[in-house]
Amino acid sequence: MRRLFLIALLAAPPAQAVEVRTPEACNAAIAADPEAAREAAAVWQRMGGGVPARLCEAAALAALGAHGTAARLLTSLATNPNRAVSPGLRAVILADGARQWLEAGRADLARAALAEADKITVPDADRRILAARAAAAEEDWPAAEGELRAAIAERPDDALAHALLAATLRNAGDPAAALAEAERAGALEPDLPEALFETGAALAETGETARAAQVWLKLIAAHPESSLAAAARSNLQRLH
């Protein structure tokens, strides 16, 4: 039987190597097999793929969960003066690097990367929201609030920004203001998990535990597999 198994292995055709030469092909390869995409990106880089190949490699690393490695690659790429990269693209790469640093649990390095990006271009709402997340990860609530209010000034109908501002205000000790922001987020996007969670959290902190439980049960029913649903379940247990 072992001999037959070895013969079958030898007779099987070799796996086809993935070839990546464009960002579109990179995205498709990552969706199919991130490890194969990473190897293909390395080949592309050796063949002169330049910045697009490095960005492909970073995206594959991120898909594999190697967020710290992806972040180092991106920030190194963006800060390398020898790379022919436009200022706008450098800022975008730094923001992507900051996102990966945040995923890796290094909010300090995320904030440093965003500070470099801000020296290059004026931050848009998305970058401000990312900066707010990084500040919140270090419990710098005033900085998080400032970034979110600036993002909302640019994009007043951004439900996520309102929900994150609710979380910031709640953690800063103002549950009443947090509830108002959470309810604004819910009015804009009723099923947004962050809006539901923060509405429940603010209600609980203002003493309206019955309403908080109702909102958290709605969150759990709508998004049962989400991390916020798990947090809502824990909070419900503490209410009883």
Domains and CATH numbers, the chain: 14-46 (no CATH), 157-240 (1.25.40.10)
Closest CA to 222 of 202, 180, 201, 194: 194
Does residue 12 have a pLDDT over 70? no
pLDDT, mean over the chain: 92
Does residue 1 have a pLDDT over 90? no
**Confidence band of 17 (pLDDT split at 50, 70, 90):** low
* pLDDT score of 3: 53
The span from the CA of 117 to the CA of 91, in Å, is 5
* pLDDT, greater one: 170 or 16: 170
C-alpha torsion sign, points 99, 104, 106, 107: positive
The span from the CA of 71 to the CA of 89, in Å, is 15
**Confidence band of 81 (pLDDT split at 50, 70, 90):** confident
Does residue 14 have a pLDDT over 60? no
* pLDDT score of 83: 74
**Confidence band of 136 (pLDDT split at 50, 70, 90):** very high
* pLDDT score of 93: 97
Does residue 9 have a pLDDT over 90? no
Q: What is the pTM of this model?
A: 0.87
pLDDT (mean) for 143-148: 98
3-state SS string for the chain? CHHHHHHHHHHCCCCCCCCCCCHHHHHHHHHHCHHHHHHHHHHHHHCCCHHHHHHHHHHHHHHCCCHHHHHHHHHHHHHCCCCCCCHHHHHHHHHHHHHHHHHCCCHHHHHHHHHHHHHHCCCCHHHHHHHHHHHHHCCCHHHHHHHHHHHHHHCCCCHHHHHHHHHHHHHCCCHHHHHHHHHHHHHHCCCCHHHHHHHHHHHHHCCCHHHHHHHHHHHHHHCCCCHHHHHHHHHHHHHC
Question: How many percent of the chain have pLDDT more than 70?
Answer: 92
pLDDT (mean) for 117-125: 97
pLDDT (mean) for 39-47: 94
**Confidence band of 110 (pLDDT split at 50, 70, 90):** very high
Does residue 120 have a pLDDT over 50? yes
pLDDT (mean) for 205-223: 97
